[in-house]
Structure 1
Amino acid sequence: MVAATRLPLLGPLLRRGITEITYVGRRSGRTFRTPVGYRRDGDEVSIIVLMPDRKTWWRNFLAAGGPIAVHLDGVDRPGHAVARRDERGRVTVTVRLDPED
């Protein structure tokens, strides 16, 4: 599915609200690429983690958070992500994108 979002004709339709993040695992040191649903508002990207208890990737961004890249407009945009769980157990990862050159 993620590869299809990069196709010239089909990509723009498929990638509305779907993108790919790249991050390095805090414990493993390995680089991961993960598809996510997102909403963007300027230099801030919000990722709602569906079924967070079945996923672990977002835990890399607890407390002070960590570096991340979000694939937007055909390029990977670096930023800083912080994950928060609310009182109902919902998890949101907020990414503050680095300024563009």
Structure 2
Amino acid sequence: MGYQKPLPKRLVHGLNTGVLALRSSPWFGRLISRRLTVVTYTGRRSGHTFSTPVAYRRTGDVVTIGVQLPDAKAWWRNFLGEGGPISLHLDGTDRAGHAIARRDERGRVRVTVQLKR
């Protein structure tokens, strides 16, 4: 798969702000929260804490995140190899977990999170 240029930070910030506003909205919040969460993680190299909204699927204590346009995003790379700690906002509370990112033969990226009990 070819390299995709990163999206401009202003655009990403604007989109994320809009999505988060919808997620906390009294009208759409419940509906959107069923498929959208906020992940929080610490960057491997920078040591800074980041939060970003992502679409997800959940089955019990396993959350799957399909990364759209993975070559234009960097957050998921923090979870390559052995993976690392992550927090997800689910059901009105923050849940800790361990995330592992994998890229398949077609270039698609999936992050699998095992939630801690």
Q: Return the TM-score normalized by structure 1.
A: 0.93
Q: Aligned pair 1:92/2:110, yes or no?
A: yes
1:69 is matched with 87
* Deviations 1:23-60 (CA, angstroms, capped at 9, x unpaired): 00000000000010100000000000011000000000
Letter in 2 for 1:60: N
Instruction: Please tell me the root mean square deviation across aligned C-alpha atoms, in Å.
Output: 1.0
Counterparts of 1:3 and 1:96, CA distance in 2: 27
Bigger Rg over Cα: 2
Q: How does 1:1-101 map to 2 (within 5 A)?
A: 1-99=19-117
Structure 2: gaps spanning 5 or more residues? 1-18
Distance in 1 between residues matched to 2:39 and 2:54, nearest whole Å: 7
SS at match of 1:2: helix
Which structure dedicates a bigger proportion of its chain to strand?
A: 1
Give the 4+ runs in structure 1 shifted more than 2 A: 6-10
Identity %: 62
Count residues with an aligned counterpart. 99
Q: What TM-score results when the alignment is normalised by the length of structure 2? A: 0.81
CA contact 1:79–1:95 (8 Å) conserved in 2: yes
Write the letter of the residue equivalent to 1:30: H
Please give the alpha-carbon distance, in whole angstroms, between the structure 1 residues aligned to 2:72 and 2:101. Answer: 15
Higher helix share: 2
Q: 2 CA distance for matches of 1:96 and 1:84? A: 14
